[in-house]
Amino acid sequence: MSSANFVLTLSCADRPGIVAAITTELAALNANIAESNQFWDQETGRFFMRLAFTAPAGVDRQALERALKSPIERFSMKTALTEESRKKRIVILVSKFDHTLLHLLYQIRVGWLDAEVAAVISNHPDAQKIAEDAGIPFHLLPVTKETKVAQEEQILALIQKTGADLVVLARYMQVLSDNLSTRLFGQVINIHHSFLPSFKGAKPYHQAHERGVKIIGATAHYVTPDLDEGPIIEQETARVTHAMSPDDLVAAGRDIESRVLARAVKLHLENRVMLNGRKTVVFG
268 — phi, psi (to 5°)?
Answer: -65, -45
Residue 175 in 3-state DSSP? Answer: coil
Residue 83 in 3-state DSSP? Answer: strand
Furthest C-alpha separation in the chain: 64
Measured between alpha carbons, how far is 144 from 152 in angstroms, rounded to an integer? 11
Nearest residue to 175 via CA among 95, 256, 90, 89: 95
Nearest residue to 166 via CA among 83, 81, 87: 87
Determine contact, residues 72/23, Cβ cutoff 8 Å.
no
Pairing of strands 166-169, 188-192: parallel
Q: Bridge partners of 21?
A: none
Nearest residue to 188 via CA among 128, 261, 109, 279: 261
CA distances to 116, 186, 203 from 108, rounded to whole Å, are: 8, 22, 30
Measured between alpha carbons, how far is 104 from 92 in angstroms, rounded to an integer? 9
Determine contact, residues 171/100, Cβ cutoff 8 Å.
yes
Measured between alpha carbons, how far is 24 from 65 in angstroms, rounded to an integer? 14
Check 14, 41, 228, 248 and give the catalytic one. 228
Catalytic, 228? Answer yes
Nearest residue to 218 via CA among 249, 185, 194, 242: 194
Measured between alpha carbons, how far is 166 from 253 in angstroms, rounded to an integer? 24
Report, as residue numbers or ranges, the catalytic residues. 228
